[in-house]
Amino acid sequence: MESIELTPTAKHHIADVALVAGILWERGWAVKNGGNISVDITGEVDIRTNELNQFPYKPLEHAYADLAQMFLLVTGAGTRMRDVANQPFDNICIIRFSNDGTGYHIIDGDVFNSRLIPTSELPTHLAIHQLLKRQGGTQKAVLHTHPDELIALTLIPGFSDESRLNKMLFSVQPETVIANPDGVGLVQYILPGTEQLAEKTVTSFQHHQIIIWGKHGSIAVGEDVLEAFDLIDVVNKSAQLVFLCREAGYIPQGLTEQQVEELKKKF
């Protein structure tokens, strides 16, 4: 198998993925093989096009024309975040999309685990990366994890409403408004790993940078995986504060709508 060359930027992204994976495991947000990460590293992998046929090829159920020839770093199906943190090259893979976006090659080379296939949530990751490509911004990373408090909120009657959920999350700390002025999207529970979940999630990402999947978890985008993690971390902190107040026997009396608007204007 031919060797592949990764630029320092690609290696930096891998180090970030490992760092965040370790944090997710320590937080308890990634029990067993929960959660997945992907990063667009197009332009950061050196491999000749005529060598692609030596790598395993997987056809896609749907074509992603915007992802043609793109390279994606993605955690492997069934991998545990604690293992991604400790042995990233054994638990992540690089995929290179075909020239028409109808499939991809798994670029295992001599440094990656050749037995890996991408996460089962790949349909959602691909749909999001296609949206990001069309938007033409600088966001390249997608992170899905299972923050306890955010999931718990969606299990409480009344917080399955996106507007009410955002009002509560915004009100309990200024940082949530500053870091995420567009609020969170809410996608009601849909079977994980499905095209339907991908479609609903992408629709919500047209207006938000972080989505809560009801009774399941959260998914966010960022320029790198650290930024995506920070978005989820800040919003989950708001959820923690909600529960702290409720455990003390109080309904949170947070920021007023006027104070929230002042924060949006200032920051």
Tell me which residue of 189, 101, 106, 102 sits closest to 92, measured CA to CA.
106
What separation, in Å, do the N-terminal and C-terminal C-alpha atoms of the chain show?
51
Catalytic residue among 2, 121, 199, 223: 121
Cα separation, 195 vs 202, whole angstroms:
11
Half-sphere exposure of 243 (CA within 13 A, CB side): 14
Q: Which of 155, 163, 135, 171 is nearest to 213 (CA)?
A: 155
Q: Are 37 and 128 in contact (CB under 8 A)?
A: no
Beta strand residue intervals within 42-112, DSSP E? 45-46, 57-59, 71-75, 92-97, 103-107
For the question of residue 121 being annotated catalytic, the response is yes
231 CB contacts (<8 Å, ≥6 apart)? 179, 180, 209, 210, 220, 222
Q: What is the DSSP string of 251-263?
A: ------HHHHHHH
List residues with catalytic annotation. Answer: 121
